Structure formats: C-alpha cells, structure tokens
C-alpha cells in the first residue's frame, strides 16, 4: 500500500525571521542592531539581525551578554502573537 503522494521532509531555516517581523512592524528598527528574545538579565536571545551579529550577538546568547557586547541594541520581547 504505497502512498499516492510520497512523504517529504523539509527543513526550513527561518534564521532572522522574528527580527524581520519586528523590523516590518517598526521601520525605525531596520538600520540598528536588533535582538529578539527574553527580557531581563536571565532572558535568552531567540534571533537577531545581521547588524547585531557584527557585534557578536547571536541566538541562544543570554540577554546579559548581548547587552555587554552591544549595549546600544534594541531588545524586543517578541512578536506578541502577530504571526
């Protein structure tokens, strides 16, 4: 009993996705370092834009370390379910 349509498994890397959503909602964020993730010193960065990456910010980095590496970046709480 073969399937009429064979199963396919795909991997979609949505790197920078949530940061892009924040940039779309707030156009003033487009040209500055932007990290999206948990707030506070115990938070964790979910993603960031490429400008923030130039300062060494990346996903899974603690918010505290991100602020040390890029103290002028904008830390957003996330998309608030807008997706």
Sorted by where each starts, the structural domains of the chain and their CATH numbers stand as: 17-76 (3.40.1170.60)
Strands 34-37 and 74-76: parallel
Per residue in 39-58, pLDDT (tens digit) is: 777 889 999 999 999 999 99
pLDDT band for position 81 (cuts 50, 70, 90): low
pLDDT over 90 at 13, yes or no: no
Indicate the average pLDDT of the chain: 84
Question: Is residue 76 scored above 80 in pLDDT?
Answer: no
Query: H or E segment at 74?
Result: strand 74-76
Question: 24 versus 83: which is more confidently predicted?
Answer: 24
């Amino acid at each position: 009993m073969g399937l009429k349509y064979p199963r396919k498994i795909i991997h979609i890397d949505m790197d920078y996705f949530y940061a892009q959503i924040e940039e779309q909602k707030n156009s003033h964020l487009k040209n500055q370092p932007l990290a999206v993730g948990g707030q506070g010193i115990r938070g964790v960065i979910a993603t960031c834009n490429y400008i923030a990456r130039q300062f060494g910010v990346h996903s899974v980095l603690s918010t505290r370390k991100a602020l040390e590496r890029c103290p002028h970046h904008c830390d957003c709480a996330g998309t608030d379910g807008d997706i």
